[in-house]
Structure 1
Amino acid sequence: MPTYAVTGATGRLGRLVIGQLLDTGVPAADIAAIVRSPEKAADLAARGVEIRKATYDDPSTLPGAVAGVRRLLLISGDTPGQRVAQHTAVIEAAKLAGVERLVYTSILKADTTTNPLAPEHKATEEVLAASGLTYTVLRNGWYTENYTDQLPQYLGSGTILGATGGSKVSAATRADYAAAAVAALTREEDGNAVYELGGTAFTFDELAETVTEVTGTTVVHRDLSAAELASALENVGLDAGTAGFVAALDHSIAIGELATDSDDLSRLIGRPTTPLRDAVRAARA
């Protein structure tokens, strides 16, 4: 039976976690990848990882997916409005299966932030706390890839639009967060734990300066109000709801909710987090 299991294992974070588990010397036979579409996990199966089919939306598939697992990484779902029910189903299956520790990917400052993504994470944390399971909550900050994935747009327009009011965001790379998940799964720890995770904070001005330095193309940051940003996003094709949602996320940055002084991430992974410059270089390459 596998020691470790990862939900959403063919997603961008899940793949990194499994890859890093293997790279740290965990035998493939000790890892189960819980996936919705096994055909998308053929590469993992080829490395000897056990593939278990299950979906968050069908609770009947989950007990078999976590059977025999000692430590489970629950990567949060990607369907707004359904996450709490989905996560609860996994938590209940884990409890029935006798999972020793459940690791959950939450959001930075989940219990206090006004970030519109936070309520479902906060509710999941409450379900987990009431479950009786031993758990680790990884309150992940923003991914640096939220920005580096937009590099072509930045370079094409010469502008980074934002509504952050000059505030900082403690983003870290997906690989850094994956390393934290691996550490949480494999380390020996007593009781429950909650970690506030983020990298070295930067402003959007610093993001623009870094993009300019790395690429040689001048990119500037244009700071707007949340309403102005929403309007600008609608003008480039986003629907009103999505534009307002993105602007609300930037407002959360503006009031300091996506910055942290915590060094939990670097302590968990045993090294400094990936510098913004290196992440931009990798995206450029």
Structure 2
Amino acid sequence: MDTFLLDPLLRNLLAEDLEHSDITTEAIFSPEDQAQAYFIARHPMTVVGMETVAARVFRLLDPSVVCTDAVADGTRVETGTALLAISGATRALLRGERVALNLVQRLCGIATLTTAFVDAVRHTKATIVDTRKTTPGLRLLEKYAVRASGGRNHRYSLSDGVLIKDNHIAACGSITEAVRRVRARVPHTINVEVETDTLAQVEECLACGVGVIMLDNMDLATMRQAVNLIDGRAIIEASGGVNLDTVRGIAETGVDIISVGALTHSARACDIGMDWRS
């Protein structure tokens, strides 16, 4: 996690929650009051963000806060596991509690779902990757959660690579013309990917020599035909409507990559509590 990018994001989230002050905490506790608390898993989960995110939230509020025993990113834990110990000024612990929990509950939810998808395609050649369907403002964190739990990242942003999608093709007129225009402008070091939904489009991509062919919303039979047609001449990505019931069958067609928007747009937040110790 690049703290140069992370810290401004965390400061903005803290400012959103604190605004002018925490009037409840400041009314009850003095600056000298000290406390200790633990983050506790309320159910089995894959953990991400204890040291990299939660601890950093508290340290940005108060550098004297001590965070120890952080469970490592990507670790699978059972109900009741202590994930992080925090000690320091009571005011800092209470001010940072909600922002830290909101973030790690979200990240652990993404990590737990990613783990399930990775497990589902184990012993196939397919790699599980995310998409740009992320929560606005949280892409850095959400894509980190995918990567830390066994998945891989697709494009981080529109500047990362060429992906010619259906609307590009519709507006341009054809795959061939879209690829021609891209190659006239884009450096040779950048690969070209094209989204397809028919075998005819796959054949057109092969004729253009594109590097990555996306098979979008194809049924398994058509996908197998496409894999055989491509025959190793391009990296093959499967996309569209992928879920835990269908992902194994998709992987067994022989595709290289399966992109799953649900990893970030539909992951259910994990239940993590901050338990106080007197």
Task: Please give the range of the TM-score, normalised by the shorter of the 2 chains.
Answer: under 0.3
Query: Who wins on radius of gyration, i.e. which is larger?
Result: 2
TM normalised by structure 1 equals 0.27
TM normalised by structure 2 equals 0.28
Q: Which has the higher strand share?
A: 2
